Chains A and B, each alone.
Chain A
């Protein structure tokens, strides 16, 4: 390994990707929850009729994830951030995403 490769790289891009990934997972869960809470949102998210609102929920979540990734990546590129704290938030968002997609939880909020 060369000396250059041995250098420690700034952690900003990794932190941005992980936090955006947690946010994207959270958005999948949030969209699931919102469509359960509101029939209007449920209907509005039917982007492709044969797939129903699942098409809109996932499309919105993926777009939100990518936008967040671009924003965080551009802000943190070439910087060191508080990686431990970012990872805790990323995993908290990931856990919320998993929780919000769990039917016994989101059905509690049924419209």
Chain B
């Protein structure tokens, strides 16, 4: 039971960062939703703000790490063209998927969507983290801003969910080796 160097990096990009993203999203959304004056004391709000900033900046940082490692480390291995005459395509994921009609959609639909939609996540997550940081406890009195941030947060998660789920299926069909 061992992983190659590429499989390790693929695991860090997808599984480790994915799990940390999910954790930070859950923590951030919970903290943001609970940021209501009727539910909290002044001390509670200050304490919640510290947690919230940690969660959302962690989420944004992980989102950037995920798209950067994906685009510049894992994706080049995925899309590498096999040399002429190659018959064993197991090390060339994109070519392997496209070699069969039964699996081609994992590239033409799955990877084509994943590689683009995933980039929306760090942008949306950074916006949320920035606004939370500059407004701080004053956000408690800004329900409209909190609501907009919550939906941006959900949009970031949706984009990450699409990219993550497709990545898991593509890795199952044609792992980067």
Contact = CB atoms under 8 A, between A and B. Distances in A.
Given A14-B135, A101-B113, A62 B71 contact: no
Interface string B82-104: 00000000000000000000000
Number of chain A interface residues as a range: 35 or more
B115 interface: yes
B120 A97 contact: yes
Contact of B148 (A18, A62, A101): A18
Contacts of A5: 136-138
Interface in A38-85: 48, 50-52, 54-55, 57-58, 61-62, 65, 83-84
Contact of B117 (A20, A48, A50, A101): A101
A11 B145 contact: yes
A26 to B, nearest CB: 9
A103 B108 contact: yes
A50 B72 CA distance: 8
Contacts, number: 114
Contacts of A54: 71, 75, 115-116
Contacts of B79: 50-52
The range of chain B's interface size is: 35 or more
Of residues B42, B71, B113, B127, which shows the largest number of chain A Cβ atoms within 10 Å of its Cβ?
A: B127
Given A1-B45, A94-B155, A103-B109, A61 B119 contact: yes
B123 A65 contact: yes
Contacts of B134: 13-14
Contacts of B72: 48, 50-51, 55
A82 B148 CA distance: 13
Give the most central of A7, A29, A51: most B CB within 10 Å. A51
B123 A1 contact: no
A46 B72 CA distance: 12
A55 B115 CA distance: 10
Interface of A: 1, 5-9, 11, 13-14, 17-18, 20-21, 24-25, 28-29, 32, 48, 50-52, 54-55, 57-58, 61-62, 65, 83-84, 87, 90-91, 94, 97-98, 101-104, 107
Interface of B: 42, 45-46, 67, 71-72, 75-76, 79-80, 108-109, 112-113, 115-117, 119-120, 123-124, 126-127, 130-131, 134-138, 140-142, 144-145, 148-149, 151-152, 155, 158-159
8 contacts: A1-B45, A14-B134, A14-B149, A21-B152, A51-B72, A55-B71, A62-B119, A98-B159
